[in-house]
Homo-oligomer: A and B are copies of this chain.
Amino acid sequence: MDDRIHAHAETLVDWSARIEAGDDVVVKVSEGAHELGIAVAEELGARDANVVTLYGSDEIDRAYLRNHSGEFDENPPHELALYENADAVLSLGGGHNTMATADVPSEKRQEKSRATEGIREARMDTDWVSTVHPTRSLAQQAGMSFEAYQEFVYDAVLRDWEALAEEMAKMKELLDEGSEVRLVKENTDLTMSIEGRTAVNSAASVVYDSHNLPSGEVFTAPDATAGEVFFDVPMTINSQRVRDVHLEFDDGEVVDYSAGQNEAVIEEVLETDEGAKRLGELGIGMNRGIDQFTDSILFDEKMGDTVHLALGRAYTSNFPEGTEDEANESAVHVDMITEMGEDSRMEVDGEVVQRNGTFRWEDRFEE
Name A's B-contacting residues (CB within 8 A): 22, 24, 26, 29, 31, 34, 37-39, 41-46, 48, 50-55, 57, 59-61, 63-69, 71-73, 76-86
CB closest chain-B residue, reference A31: B34
Complex CA–CA separation, A84 to B96 (angstroms): 33
Q: Which residue of B lies closest to A63 (CB)?
A: B41
A-B residue pairs in contact (CB < 8 Å), sample of 5: A41-B67, A53-B55, A78-B86, A81-B81, A81-B84
Given contacts A34-B57, A38-B59, A55-B53, are A26 and B64 in contact (CB under 8 A)? no
Closest chain-B Cβ to A275's Cβ sits at a distance in Å of 32
B67 and A50 within 8 A (CB): no
Q: How far is the CA of A146 from the CA of B44 in the complex (A)?
A: 35
Q: Which chain B positions have C-beta within 8 A of A60?
A: 29, 34, 37-38, 41, 53
Shortest A236–chain B CB gap in Å is: 26
Closest Cβ–Cβ distance, residue A34 to chain B (whole Å): 7
What B residues does A42 contact at CB under 8 A? 63-64, 66-67
Q: Which residues of B contact A43 (CB under 8 A)?
A: 67
Contact A67 B81 (CB under 8 A): no
Residues of the B chain whose Cβ atoms lie less than 8 Å from the Cβ of A29: 55, 57, 60
* Contact A38 to B63, CB < 8 A, known contacts A24-B77, A78-B85, A82-B78: yes
Most buried by B among A37, A43, A77: A77
User: Which of B22, B38, B55 sits near A37, CB closer than 8 Å?
Assistant: B55
Does A64 contact B79, Cβ atoms closer than 8 Å? no
| Chain B residues, CB < 8 A from A59 | 34, 38
User: Which residues from chain B contact A71 at a C-beta distance below 8 Å?
Assistant: 48
Taking the nearest CB of chain B, how far is it from the CB of A328, in angstroms? 34
| Chain B neighbourhood of A64, CB < 8 A | 41-42, 44-45, 51
- Complex contact A54–B57 (CB within 8 A): no
> Looking at A37, A51, A68, which has the most chain B CB atoms within 10 Å of its CB?
A68
